[in-house]
Chains A and B, each alone.
Chain A
Amino acid sequence: MTVVTEAFQTAADARAAVLGLPEHPRVIVEHPLASRTPSEIEKVAVAAVARIAAGLSGLAAPLAGGSVPQAARMSPAPARAQRRELAGDFAGANEALEALVWTDGLPVVPPTEALVEAMLRGATSAPDEVLGRMEPLQGTVTVEKVAANAVMAGCRPEYFPVVLASVRAVLQTDFHVGSTACTTGGAAPVIIVNGPIAGRLGISGGTACFGGNIKANATIGRALRLVMRNLGGARPDGMEKSTQAWPGKIACCFAENEARSPWEPLHVERGHPASASTVTVVAVRGIYSLTEGRQTSGEGVLETLVASMRYVGSPIYHQMHINALPVIVALCPEHADEIARAGFDRRAVRAYIHEHARMPVRVLRDRAYYAPNAWKGLVDESDPNAMVPIVTSPDRIILVVAGGDGRHSSWMPAWGVCRGATEVVDR
């Protein structure tokens, strides 16, 4: 049986239903337990124990509806998506789609058969190909379903291979896409595009590249989020539990600014040919920006960068070792140039960040998500001055050059247990 705090009741109900266990016994207790005193916790437990014992040791009545199987017999989703008639014009169809809770609140392009057919022609995959199941509500992800959501997001058909690669990335096990929907931690996916496809499609890595207002960036990012919403149940009236979240829950996609990078691009550093195109997707807690307008020595820029990453409120310091979390560091072209002129290649930049983006145990203890033995095998916690790195090793730093003119860079800590994932974009 399951003990659930009140605030998560809706999510627990939806999850029990999708597992085929709507009658699974659940005991609801007050929310939250995390901030209560030991004596308050004891009171909550004492008040709940009789209900928990009852849930373990006997159902009050047999289930209604005759014999109910005990082993899962999932009826497979149809190979092709259902067709549905909607009344009205563009505005009417939008109202109907909103009423069906299939939009993110912004207007969508109604996914008519003709538009979905056109989207499907943007890639070579068959419409009924199954990419996986989208956690937490486990909807079957077919290429056709992804196409319908890409149409709604406003994608052009030529964007479709990038959308498909992004969806494949979040379906990788170590991405933990289901938990990104259910967490209070505000995890939203950031899509980084590398390779020649970015230029061909107009996916921007230049001026204002994180901020939308650029068709390819906005619609590709939005397509991934609509897939997570409509097939995985990631919506605030469903499984979504972010305390605040950030606008990446609508869309966040950008390219590396390879033309203005002094180094080889991210995908080449990771062993892909320069002619390949890739997406790297990471669920992050937000975009943490830093400005360095006075230092121009390269070392000076790096010093400001790592100082901004010594951030007591980021639980990445407490969680990075659980699933080898990455941190994205996005340097603007001017900062990157100065750092390169000071003699740093990509490997040296990552090594510098790993060496200096550290905080002492005494500062991190009893903050954020600290738990005793938090860094077992990594840092000697008995030494209050032992330094805890932001990630376990330099190769967990995803270094990209992004943005236009100006002296503003940023870093993005991966959320909770998301290792991030890379996929090659099929041509």
Chain B
Amino acid sequence: MITIVNPAAEDVTERLAPAPRIASLRGARVALIDNSKHNADRFLDTLAALLVRDHGVAKIERYRKVSASVPTPPETLHRLLEASDAAVHGVAD
């Protein structure tokens, strides 16, 4: 038997509740964050059109990241938070 020093993370994150959902998309403002990967814009173009046409979304706010590998800047997130009721972002290629 040997005693070792744990080399790995011991951080424990408390489980959080996701942000409350909105009751309905009808009349809502939705932010779409484009991660800038190839074709993300096309995917979001279609999504935006369908959210407006079929789900009654009133306004779409778009933001395109400078690179998929950097976080959306906090000031941009705050701006989107002010300008929208719900947000969608994408991960991966």
What residues make up the interface of A, taking CB atoms closer than 8 Å to B? Answer: 1-5, 7-8, 11-12, 17-25, 31-34, 36, 38, 41-42, 44-46, 48-49, 52-53, 55-59, 63, 65, 68-78, 81-88, 93, 97, 100, 102, 110-113, 116, 133-134, 137-140, 144-145, 147-149, 152, 176, 179, 182-184, 226, 230-231, 233, 319, 322-323, 369, 371, 416-417
Q: Do the beta carbons of A102 and B1 come within 8 Å of each other? A: no
Nearest B residue to A42 via CB reads B46
Majority SS at the chain B contact face: loop
Nearest B residue to A53 via CB reads B55
CA distance A176 to B66 in the complex (A): 14
CA distance A73 to B87 in the complex (A): 23
Q: Which residues of B contact A44 (CB under 8 A)?
A: 43
Nearest A residue to B12 via CB reads A75
Known: A83-B4, A97-B4, A182-B69. 5 other contacts (CB 8 A): A32-B92, A34-B38, A57-B25, A63-B17, A323-B70
Q: Which residues of B contact A148 (CB under 8 A)?
A: 4-7
CA distance A323 to B70 in the complex (A): 10
Nearest A residue to B47 via CB reads A45
Q: Which 5 A-B pairs have the closest CB atoms?
A: A139-B9, A8-B92, A45-B46, A179-B69, A148-B7
Q: Which residues of A contact B7 (CB under 8 A)?
A: 81, 102, 111, 145, 148-149, 152, 226, 230
When the two chains form the complex, which single residue of A24, A33, A81, A82 contacts B37, counting CB atoms closer than 8 Å?
A33
Q: Which residues of A contact B93 (CB under 8 A)?
A: 5, 7-8, 31-34, 184
A56 and B25 contact, Cβ closer than 8 Å, known pairs A19-B13, A70-B16: yes
12 pairs from A and B in contact (CB 8 Å cutoff): A1-B88, A3-B43, A17-B13, A33-B37, A49-B51, A56-B86, A82-B6, A112-B2, A138-B9, A148-B4, A230-B8, A371-B38
Closest Cβ of chain A to B31, distance in Å, is 10
CA distance A416 to B22 in the complex (A): 36
B76 contacts A by Cβ under 8 Å: no
Q: Do the beta carbons of A81 and B22 come within 8 Å of each other? A: no
Q: Do the beta carbons of A41 and B4 come within 8 Å of each other? A: no
CA distance A83 to B22 in the complex (A): 46
CA distance A315 to B87 in the complex (A): 30
Q: Which residues of B contact A144 (CB under 8 A)?
A: 5
A20 and B15 contact, Cβ closer than 8 Å, known pairs A33-B37, A49-B54, A57-B21: yes
Chain B 19-61 interface 0/1 with A at a Cβ cutoff of 8 Å (1 = within): 1011111001010000011111011101100110011000000
Q: Which residues of B contact A323 (CB under 8 A)?
A: 67, 70
A56 and B2 contact, Cβ closer than 8 Å, known pairs A20-B15, A22-B15: no
When the two chains form the complex, which single residue of B1, B50, B88 contacts A86, counting CB atoms closer than 8 Å?
B1
When the two chains form the complex, which single residue of A70, A76, A87 contacts B1, counting CB atoms closer than 8 Å?
A87
Q: Do the beta carbons of B23 and A49 come within 8 Å of each other? A: no
CA distance A46 to B37 in the complex (A): 19
A176 and B8 contact, Cβ closer than 8 Å, known pairs A4-B92, A69-B16: no
A84 and B4 contact, Cβ closer than 8 Å, known pairs A68-B16, A68-B17, A70-B16: yes
When the two chains form the complex, which single residue of B2, B10, B18, B40 contacts A21, counting CB atoms closer than 8 Å?
B18
CA distance A153 to B35 in the complex (A): 36
Q: Do the beta carbons of B89 and A34 come within 8 Å of each other? A: no
When the two chains form the complex, which single residue of B5, B10, B18, B19 contacts A111, counting CB atoms closer than 8 Å?
B5
